[in-house]
Chains A and B, each alone.
Chain A
Amino acid sequence: MPAETIAPSAGRPALREPLWLRLSLIGGALTFLAIFLLLPLILVFVQALGHGIEAYWDALVEQDAVSAIQLTVLVAAIAVPLNLVFGVAASWCIAKFEFRGKSLLITLIDLPFSVSPVISGMVYVLLFGLNGWLGPWLIDHNIKIIFALPGLVLATIFVTFPFVARELIPLMQEQGTDEEEAAVVLGASGWQVFRRVTLPNIKWGLLYGVLLCNARAMGEFGAVSVVSGHIRGMTNTMPLHVEILYNEYNFVAAFAVASLLALLALVTLVVKSLLEWRYGDELAASARH
């Protein structure tokens, strides 16, 4: 009878794969994740704690390590707020106004994503270095940029610039300018429109962008490595410090500092997931995923 021949296929929709295939695909994906992501992460902590918690702690409070941590936090504390301001300004421009050269500006914002970080570091050396264009003038005026904090901040800003803007542009474009227009007609000034209408509408997207920006700012290696000069206790950030320790076969100390970076990554991931779960509809990134 026709009804009976239809019944089994109704229990198995056309787009469902057989059980063995599903299990092996899921298993394959999980194994891959375990080997390439989870295992290294665990190894970082195993190595770091390999000689006991005391050795771990000593490695973290060692003078050079402390100054590397402080420097990393300081660089991020300068670069991230600046990128927050630049990113919001750039996205506001691009999403809310029409002007000539807009697509050029969007391309420029994306540039750091497509350029190798090493090159962005080298550009600053060429510009501000001893033999660079502005080098002699800077020396005359006793301003140090390369092999000093300003150079690290510049390189970090360059590399992390797109994170905030890339998150906000699609979000602001999708929201359009209707609410801003309404606010202006109701008598709000430009600043009031931004603070009371635009900002509340993008706050979660902004936090999301800042979070990713911060993670990258603290973890950046390439660009920072070129402009740093690797002066211990002076211009070494955490990733650079890890490299030096590793090259000196000081594995416990290297992995101890590395574990801090791994922790940062984990915290970032958790907060990022929380944001996506709670405010997914107010994030441009989750719409893209």
Chain B
Amino acid sequence: MTIEVSNISKRFGNYVALDRVSLEVKSGELLALLGPSGSGKTTLLRIMAGLEYPDSGGLRLFGNDALDRSPRDREVGFVFQHYSLFRHMTVADNVAFGLDVRPRAVRLSKREIRSRVMQLLEMVQLSWVADRYPSQLSGGQRQRVALARALAIEPKVLLLDEPFGALDAKVRKELRRWLRRLHDEMHITSVFVTHDQEEALELADRVVVMSQGRIEQIGTPTEVYDHPATSFVYDFLGNVNRFEVDVHDGVARLPGTTQPFARTHLRGDGAAVAFVRPHDVELARPNGHDVPNTGKVLGIHAVGPSARVEVDLNGIAIEAVMDRERLRDLNLAVGDRCVINLPQISVFGQQEAAE
């Protein structure tokens, strides 16, 4: 294991930023810490770098206790959210900084540093701005300089705090793909923080979903998307339909109805929450028999390759997504009655145990 976080807690005054968090980062992987703001993801990243100190818990880097080591001895590269480039230094001096401040005994010669800096700037495709100042660069260029600066000290771990947060959408996508390629070439263990679920799911090998200082789920992008462990993960990842249901004897019903709505393995009776993804909602034309879960079409939005159909089921609006051919076959129109099947429904009780 490259990074082992065990039972780390951190408070700021009365605010609990991290509550007994444990996590292992595998060697060479690209891991995403995903969560809304205030979930503690940045605090966890800063603790790994040594910029914050936990109240309790342990941290090991490559098997060695890291908490008693200062950030300058941890051999981590850190890319800050707002880049934090040294404003009074040129791009080349920024990248060279980590090599320049080494003790004389292990410092490279001026020429070696210069050639290494140019090599790094070429890697991030910015050798032509070596003598400019950070204020003369665009956001995306600054981000790449920050990355080159972090990589200059040949860190064993690369930590990135919201690396694409301050960039516009187009640049963000480009940089995302570029970072993934870079990671695949260098195989450096990397952890990045993001609040953008699309970014985490597309870029990372594994995703850690956090909320209110705790880890909700750890898994590959497919795992966390297809099998969310908690209602929070369901809600946070992707588009989802959410309904309040009553559970009785393993059967969930919509409040105020007697018809069974879904089956569940949830033990105990009482109020629960049900989730279903729009593309898991199946619609069919009524075949004459009286089937449960018959609803009414409220609206149809067919733009692009897929169509979005809003249906009403006992006063609850449900969103269904299907490809446009399927919609044509169904031949639905606003106001039509239709059968709603929910084979992929997940029900979570108050105690958040999965179905």
Q: Residues on A close to B: CB < 8 A?
A: 178-179, 181-189, 192, 196-197, 200-201
Complex Cα spacing A226 to B70, Å: 50
Q: Is the CB of B102 within 8 A of A187?
A: yes
Q: Given A178-B84, A197-B86, A201-B88, do A185 and B71 touch, yes or no (CB 8 Å)?
A: yes
Q: Is the CB of B98 within 8 A of A187?
A: yes
Closest to A192 in B: B101
Q: Is the CB of A184 within 8 A of B80?
A: no
B51 at the interface (CB under 8 A from A): yes
Q: Is the CB of A183 within 8 A of B82?
A: no
Complex Cα spacing A187 to B106, Å: 12
**Cβ contacts under 8 Å, B98 to chain A:** 186-187
Q: Residues on B close to A: CB < 8 A?
A: 49-51, 70-74, 76-78, 80, 82, 84-88, 97-98, 101-102, 149-150, 152-153
| Interface pairs (17), CB distance under 8 Å | A179-B87, A181-B84, A182-B85, A183-B101, A184-B71, A185-B71, A185-B78, A186-B72, A186-B98, A186-B152, A187-B72, A187-B73, A187-B101, A188-B72, A189-B72, A189-B101, A201-B87
**Cβ contacts under 8 Å, A181 to chain B:** 51, 78, 80, 84
Q: Is the CB of B72 within 8 A of A182?
A: no
Q: Is the CB of A182 within 8 A of B101?
A: no
**What is the CB-to-nearest-CB distance from A240 to chain B, in angstroms, rounded to a whole number?**
42
Task: State the majority secondary structure of interface residues on A.
Answer: helix
Q: Given A192-B101, A196-B101, do A185 and B87 touch, yes or no (CB 8 Å)?
A: no
- Having A182-B80, A188-B97, one finds 19 other A-B pairs with CB under 8 Å, namely A179-B84, A179-B87, A182-B78, A183-B86, A183-B101, A184-B70, A184-B71, A185-B49, A185-B71, A185-B76, A186-B97, A186-B152, A187-B73, A187-B98, A188-B101, A189-B101, A192-B101, A197-B86, A201-B87
**Cβ contacts under 8 Å, B77 to chain A:** 185
Q: Given A188-B101, A201-B88, do A178 and B78 touch, yes or no (CB 8 Å)?
A: no
Closest to B72 in A: A187
Q: Is the CB of A186 within 8 A of B101?
A: yes
User: What 6 A-B pairs have minimum CB-CB distances, sorted nearest first?
Assistant: A186-B98, A178-B84, A182-B84, A188-B101, A185-B78, A200-B88
Complex Cα spacing A182 to B81, Å: 11
Complex Cα spacing A200 to B74, Å: 26
**What is the CB-to-nearest-CB distance from B165 to chain A, in angstroms, rounded to a whole number?**
14
**Cβ contacts under 8 Å, B150 to chain A:** 185-186
Q: Is the CB of A183 within 8 A of B97?
A: yes
**Cβ contacts under 8 Å, B84 to chain A:** 178-179, 181-182
Q: Given A178-B80, A178-B82, A189-B101, do A184 and B87 touch, yes or no (CB 8 Å)?
A: no
Complex Cα spacing A184 to B50, Å: 10
Complex Cα spacing A192 to B100, Å: 10
Complex Cα spacing A35 to B70, Å: 62
Q: Given A179-B87, A196-B101, A201-B88, do A185 and B82 touch, yes or no (CB 8 Å)?
A: no
Complex Cα spacing A268 to B153, Å: 45
Complex Cα spacing A154 to B317, Å: 78
Q: Given A184-B71, A186-B153, do A179 and B51 touch, yes or no (CB 8 Å)?
A: no
Q: Is the CB of B82 within 8 A of A184?
A: no
Q: Which of A182, A185, A187 contacts B86 (CB 8 A)?
A: A182
Closest to B70 in A: A184
